[in-house]
Amino acid sequence: VLAYKVRVDKDPNDVEALEAMGNVNLSLGRFDDAKEWYERALKVDPSRAGTRMDLALSLRYLGQPDEAIAELKQVLKKDPKNAAALYNLGIILLEDKNDKQGAIARWESLMKAHPNYPQTAQLRQLVESIKHPPSSSPTSPSGG
């Protein structure tokens, strides 16, 4: 961490050091600090999709799902088949916005574009369980 801090102090536009500082803070659960480092990195180089996705993750953990969604959509505007962005956007839409159809649409796009994506089997099951939830059968009265 100290080495990256020294690099940033020496060159405030060292985008790799800025991103690394964001990553360290993200892994430590310091989401406000991570957000600031990622934003600084993106001011230097707005085209860094990985940094933007990490910023989205920080924003989500800060309870700002709309801002996280906006960052992921920026990644997808430049790279509509970005697997990580599609996956994470689906997660945020489902878990934070309760937008089941939006989540399904992103995941189906992901599975179509990347049939060998590591989480494909899980996503297929999740999509099916959302589309066809198990019907709750009436419980039989217990005797006793």
**What pLDDT digit, counting tens, does each position of 74-125 carry?**
999 999 999 999 999 999 999 999 999 999 999 999 999 999 999 999 999 9
Please give the structure tokens belonging to residue 133: 């939830």
Q: What is the DSSP letter of 144?
A: -
Give the list of residues 6+ apart from residue 15 with CB closer than 8 angstroms, or none: 41, 44, 45, 48, 51
| Whole-structure pTM value | 0.88
pLDDT tens for each residue of 12-70: 999 999 999 999 999 999 999 999 999 999 999 999 999 999 999 999 999 999 999 99
How many CA atoms lie less than 13 Å away from 138 in the CB half-sphere?
A: 2
